[in-house]
């Protein structure tokens, strides 16, 4: 027999299960579409700064030393852009792992609520059966 308290617990349990599943599936789907298909771009969490470098001047008393930069500004910005794409991918994967772990925890809570209801029902039926056996034993004596 289902009591009034068990029904909301079961609804909340299934709701937590669905929410946790969504929290797990969304970052997983986005990650798979980025890594395996290549159709999506890596989400830009951090923006790469553009740097313009000229010659480096070092003051030395009355004179200044001018040191030319051997790399062009375009090459430096290209290196920074590639580095930031790796950093963005790493941050996205870290956030995805955190969300997937959180979704697993949410699903675990939902399953424990659902399982607790079933265990309670089994315990009640075991109590009823044991009471019936006791009543039958008393009647046979």
Is 1's pLDDT higher than 50? no
**What is the three-class DSSP state of 104?**
helix
Is 22's pLDDT higher than 60? yes
Distance CA 50, CA 132 (A): 81
Tell me the average pLDDT across 106-120.
82
Sign, Cα dihedral of 45, 50, 56, 62: negative
pTM of the model: 0.62
Q: Where are the domains of the chain?
A: 6-140
**Per-residue model confidence as pLDDT tens digits over 41-92:** 777 888 888 777 777 778 888 888 888 777 788 888 888 888 888 898 889 8
Sign, Cα dihedral of 113, 119, 122, 123: negative
Instruction: State the chain's mean pLDDT as an integer.
Output: 82
In this predicted model, which residue has the larger pLDDT, 97 or 118?
A: 97
> Could you tell me how many helices (H) and strands (E) the chain has, helices first?
2, 2
Distance CA 89, CA 117 (A): 42
């Amino acid at each position: 027999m289902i009591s009034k308290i068990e029904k909301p617990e079961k609804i909340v349990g299934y709701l937590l299960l669905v929410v946790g599943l969504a929290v797990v599936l969304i970052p997983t789907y986005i990650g798979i579409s980025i890594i395996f298909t290549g159709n999506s771009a890596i989400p830009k969490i951090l923006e790469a700064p553009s740097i313009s470098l000229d010659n480096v001047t070092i003051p030395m008393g009355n004179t200044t030393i001018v040191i030319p930069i051997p790399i062009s500004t375009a090459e430096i910005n290209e290196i920074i852009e590639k580095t930031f794409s790796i950093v963005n991918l790493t941050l996205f994967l870290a956030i995805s792992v955190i969300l997937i772990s959180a979704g697993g925890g949410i699903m675990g809570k939902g399953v424990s609520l659902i399982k607790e209801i079933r265990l309670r029902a089994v315990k009640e039926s075991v109590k009823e059966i044991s009471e019936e056996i006791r009543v039958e034993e008393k009647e046979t004596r």
